[in-house]
Structure 1
């Protein structure tokens, strides 16, 4: 490249230019989204908001990366590392376009910024490469090794692929579960701030750095060519640490001032006058003696000041609100709620969001759900610079928005990906919240979100959410015996049980229930909830007498605390139908258990989850009593309802179908029972794993049925 001008910005374009290290031309597109490339599967489309139109002067690294996606190549991993905002994702995006366009590879793009996003994205990759619904359900629920499933299907891919793991700034997440591997069928590219070679064994590392001084100044001149001299641009570029993201915002700010245009000299003087912010990312690896990200905070603050001066304080308020959340995609629906009125008028949210988009302070991304996404360095900087008196209303509003996005009473249902999108944001808010009352409110939302994840079968995410929330809540609230901290640990124990980790679940639930009983009382709803979970564990461990005594106490306590008609009271009573010996059912609970489904129908309705559970458990009791005709009729009704609501691979659907196979065999239709049981076992092996206790029980039951194969099917319909 010569020393002259090689690029110019036109209309809304921005040109990044450098001779040694960088960079980018980009175009913003705002509208109905019809022009966005790619299909509905988000892993086939990079979630980068504004893709660069041109990538300048990364020729050396791009040459190596292009070679890795040529025909016949595979089995390689590359790590692009550097500070946030240096263009790592831009390089990966450019390679992605080359690989899918010129080289005909399947492109797969996954956010690796946290466990929830990584798991969800990698499981979407598995689905793209042919994984079945049952396998995915098992992996989502943590009932089989998710990483093994993903790489099994990547290894079997009919087409060569390129997999990008973007924003892997916590490489321990990739190491836990062995997510980062290689395959002869494809190439892996990772973008990260973390440069230590120990995190990336077997990968080729490539540093993506800031711009040389001259080229950084040229970016400013390209974006705002009439604002100042080369010398002034040089000084501002140095003041901004030559960070491309900061230069983009500075140049954009200078170019968009119409009524009262600023010169570079004015801009530089304001940079010097503005009070600095503390170093943002304390946990990032130091990449230079002076991390320029705190300087980026100054640049963004100038833009916020301009919003105020132009009569757009709502844009500042909205960005400060976004800074209470995670840099992961945030559903736009979360912002479109009346609760946002705590910091800006609801009818001004659209205007504020457009202002942030125009100033490149946030992005629109589509990950199957329309979201806004802001750079992590920006959010950290804005959060650090937010005036102390503004923080409490911002945190309160953020909690209320998240609270409104999570069901008040989470119900059982099929997998819901929106819940996963909320996880990093509620945890980020819990990390940021300084006021104990706000932290307690955020923890309460996190607990309810864990319940929602659990009840859609996403047990692994439910456990991770509850466990992390409990740890954060303990630090924020200052004591392990806080009611909400104990409740979060209790939810983690409930999910451990569903994961088949019975011993861990028992230990945790027993410890938490004891603490709750001491601190809150035996009839406190939280104590009773832990008792309900613990009796499930004990029953499945074969300690049925102990489980029955605890369950009876839970029923009595819930009657006293909640009333006889409360859904939780009725749920505990339905558990008696499943746990107690069949001969004891008639005399239990004043002889009302066998009529419990009708009672639930009257109080809750015929389609309520508790009502269906009562019918399911009554069918099991009828089977154990030898009333096979009645048991089959009840089981068929429940199975049909479960199939409609949850699908064929949901755990309780499989439980009902297993009972249906038992009734077939009991009535002499052995072949029909074997056919159903074979399908149940196959689905449980895919969804729960071969060694899960439920799978083992199904396998043993099928073996028993198969041993009767020689018997004649005597029963008629």
Structure 2
């Protein structure tokens, strides 16, 4: 089961982290002058790759370049490029902020642009010069795999600066200029230490000690900074460079010996890591001797999470007291705050304020959740610090305490669910939960159980915030770790269930079917068939079964569950969802009256019990779709508009559920003749779904199908054929051929194109083949089957056989009266067509003439959400 290409669209900041800019940049005068010394003009039109080992000061130099530009009002865009996901999200945001209405219009007109394409179009078109910085782009090959070779370009409109550890010319554009940063020489390192320790006027002995320490640290700017800060601290037990160097040698002899071969200038990242690791350990020793406890414990806990901003509040004193005890002193808010201040003072951590869900001050804010959530104070570790600290954690005898604290601190978030202020909090902890799950040692099965429980709450947040791709990847990561531990049957069930639901959301239907089958098996064994969670698993199994096109068996499963839940008042929400599922299946099967009955039952139950507004929107949405299919278009559009208003109160505007409701309303506009309005809406929805869910997702393919269908209606046959062929290929490659209704619908439109091009005989033959398949899979009187018969009847007239056409149209009219009713718009359409076939002369018929081509309705209105899993607290 491979991972889908990631497409994460959570809000990101594009502002340079100027608070991390060094007070003074040491030893980089030559490089700084060569890069314009803060003047944008010498860099215009160029790509500059700033490369060197970790901790060498690449980011510091880039910030020094950006600082005067920011002061002068130059637009500086800062992209955290350590992962392809963050690059994709930033490029997406650049496109939206710089592009404005023109780019958005081009998004709608284009069919398959990715984030990099959109961003670079906006950058090339910018009238205001800019500097774009890709910081920590240490894996450009991965970025290229995810975003394509066009993720990095040069532009006459601005300048590009990349910081990276990768030097190879094969990884960068041929026109890119490269600047290498080497370790600082001994003299510069000495001056840096003296400056940081406020000892610039020191006597020769102190200067010599600084020179010796600079040499021992290998001229690594990050290590020099930490050492200088430690020495400069008031009342430091290591008040000078000599004592610092001696402590380094004395306390960590084994590692120092291993690093000795690296001499003054380490030649490899491993060598530098050993040296820097000792520097940071000496700093912790010094703080502890200064009477500041817990600094080492906190650093070890931080190393269990990702090297991303950590909300300060995540370090729960209550949890830390439980896991670490009071041997080193009491754990309370003041003690944690004091330890963090000390770590910040010696440069081991930085603090920033992060609010990842707030609206931006300017620019397009479509992908920002409209929220007043406050900013959170966060801890930031340099990636090299985090890496080295993780190595120290593995060697620590207290690593069990650290992992327990990391897991339980995240677990404590379950008590904060549902408040406005915690939306940003959950966004910030996404990488920490996923990283912890991936790295938790196999010895800690009990902690894995807690992590799984916490993950259920994370999944709820990701569903409500519309972040389906991150949710799928996170659930897959959890599932991948199952066999590393020995979880209980219930925990194994929860993991299988979550992965199945996210696979379903991401249109990986075969995978979802296998997973939910295993989840149902585990639930019956571990929990019993009558348990709430076991019944929830059956609900999801029904939804997945129907989504895969197995309508007959899905209906049987849904009816059995409805009967079992009848009269069981302890599970009213399950009964509501069972009727909702059955209504959806009956609608797809063409039995609209029965579908409406079960949908009204679900709506009634939703009104009688306390259900979330999101769930209420789901059941009312299905009723709106059924009213549409029954021909009550105005009533359906009114109800769906009300549903969308309810959804927008609780969901971000890009949420897949809102997109589906927009899709259904646009479909009704198209049926009522508002083709251009429907086309513009479908094109906008398709672009968002492609970004959010991927181009191969079933939702994206269905929306693109609607774009192609309306283009056929408008006579744009070449464009329509291109779009529909892409949909057809997507259905094939994404394993969606089992969804016969969707597949036949696309083929149906391609046949229309043949007919409008005058290939009547070929179209007539193809419609006959589609008709036979629809009769087999859907039934002879399914509305979709009758639509194909309708078009085939018109083709008889176009071929010169109006008598046969009238005979077929009478059958269709009779069937529509039985299935849809006398007042349905498709019944009236067939009646009018029969009149026209009687009135008009045979030579007047051509396919598509008189605007009489049928407009097929959406063959599969999609479910808006899955069941909400309730997870008990541990």
Match of 2:224 among 236, 247, 253: 247
- In the TM superposition, residue 373 of structure 1 has moved relative to its aligned partner by 0.3
CA 1:328–1:632 in structure 2 vs 1: closer, same or farther (change >3 Å)? closer
1:685 is matched with which residue? 686
Change (3 A) 1:564 1:250: same
The equivalent residue for 1:578 is: 584
Is 1:424 aligned to residue 431 of structure 2? Answer: yes
Aligned to 2:646: 641
Deviation per CA, 1:109-154, whole angstroms, max 9, x where unpaired? Answer: 0112234433333333223213679979x99xxx973333333322
1:217 counterpart (171, 183, 190) = 190
Q: 1:244, CA displacement in angstroms?
A: 1.6
CA distance in 2, matches of 1:675, 1:131: 22
Q: Deviations over 1:224-281 (max 9, x none)?
A: 435953443333223323222222222222222427564433322221121355999x
1:93 deviates by 0.8
TM-score normalised according to structure 2 size: 0.65
Partner of residue 466, structure 2: 457
Q: Is the 8 A contact 1:51 1:93 kept in 2?
A: yes
Q: Tell whether the 8 Å contact from 1:506 to 1:537 is kept in structure 2 after alignment.
A: yes
User: What residue number does 2:745 align with?
Assistant: none
8 A contact 2:509–2:548 mirrored in 1: no
Larger Rg: 2
Q: Of the candidates 436, 440, 453, which is equivalent to residue 445 of structure 2?
A: 436
Q: Is the 8 A contact 1:517 1:527 kept in 2?
A: yes
2:38/2:66 contact within 8 Å kept: no
Q: CA deviation at 1:553?
A: 6.0
Output one character per residue of 1:41-84: Cα deviation in whole Å (capped at 9) or x when no partner: 97452125431233233233333432997449645322222222
Q: Deviations over 1:475-500 (max 9, x none)?
A: 74389x9876775566455445545x
Q: Distance in 2 between matches of 1:238 and 1:482?
A: 57
8 A Cα contact 1:430 1:442, kept in partner: yes
| Secondary structure class of the residue paired with 1:604 | coil
Give yes or no for contact 1:440–1:484 (8 Å, CA) kept in 2: yes
Matched, 1:371 2:371: no
Among candidates 345, 348, 371, match of residue 335 of structure 2: 348
Q: CA deviation at 1:361?
A: 1.4
Does the 8 A contact of 2:103 with 2:122 survive in 1?
no
Deviations 1:312-338 (A, max 9, x none): 213333222222222212233434675
* TM-superposed deviation, 1:509: 1.3
Give CA deviations for 1:272-315 in whole Å, capped at 9, x if unaligned: 121355999xxxxx943861222222222222222322322133
Deviation at 1:536, TM superposition (A): 4.5
- Tell me which residue corresponds to 1:264: 241
| 8 Å Cα contact 2:512/2:544 also seen in 1 | no
- Give the equivalent residue in structure 2 for 1:35: none
| Whole-angstrom distance in 1 between the partners of 2:172 and 2:17 | 24
Q: Return the match for 1:397 from 383, 405, 413.
A: 405
Deviations 1:429-467 (A, max 9, x none): 234422232234334434542442233222222223333
SS of match in other structure, 1:149:
helix
Counterpart position of 2:178 = 205
The one-character-per-residue Cα deviations of 1:561-620 (angstroms, maximum 9, x if unpaired) are x9763645533432322221387576689x654232121122125x62111211111222
Determine whether 1:174 maps to 2:143.
yes
What are the ranges of 5 or more consecutive residues in structure 1 without an aligned counterpart? Answer: 1-40, 281-285, 712-717
Match of 1:618 in 2: 623
SS of aligned partner of 1:188: strand
Q: Decide whether the 8 Å contact of 1:133 with 1:649 is kept in 2.
A: no
CA RMSD of aligned residues (A): 4.3
- Counterparts of 2:595 and 2:270 in 1: how far apart (Å)? 72
Post-superposition Cα deviations, 1:616-647, rounded to whole Å, max 9, x if no partner, equal 11222233344556545533432322243336
Match of 1:108 in 2: 77
Once the two structures are superposed, residues 515-553 of structure 1 have per-residue CA deviations (whole angstroms, 9 ceiling, x without a partner) of 334544384777766665565555455443344345556
Evaluate the alpha carbon distance shift between residue 639 and residue 392 of structure 1 in structure 2; reply closer, same or farther with a 3 A threshold. Answer: same
Number of residue equivalences = 647
Distance 1:88 1:169 in 2: 12
Mapped contact 1:414–1:647 kept (Cα < 8 A): no
Is the alpha carbon distance of 1:208 and 1:488 closer, same or farther for their aligned partners in structure 2, counting shifts above 3 Å? farther
Cα distance in structure 1, aligned partners of 2:157 and 2:545:
46
Aligned to 1:92: 62
The 8 Å contact of residues 47 and 367 in structure 1, kept in 2 or not, is answered as: no
Is 1:320 equivalent to 2:263 in the alignment? no
Structure 2: distance between partners of 1:414 and 1:534:
35
Distance 1:330-1:390 versus aligned 2 partners, 3 A rule: same
Residues 228-239 of structure 1 correspond to what in structure 2 (within 5 A)?
228-239=205-216
- Cα displacement string for residues 147-187 of structure 1 (whole angstroms, at most 9, x for unaligned residues): 33333322332322211111223334322223334334332
**Unaligned stretches of 5+ residues in structure 2:** 1-10, 260-265, 325-330, 356-374, 716-828, 830-849, 853-874
TM-score by length of 1: 0.77
TM-aligned CA deviation for residue 363 of structure 1:
0.7
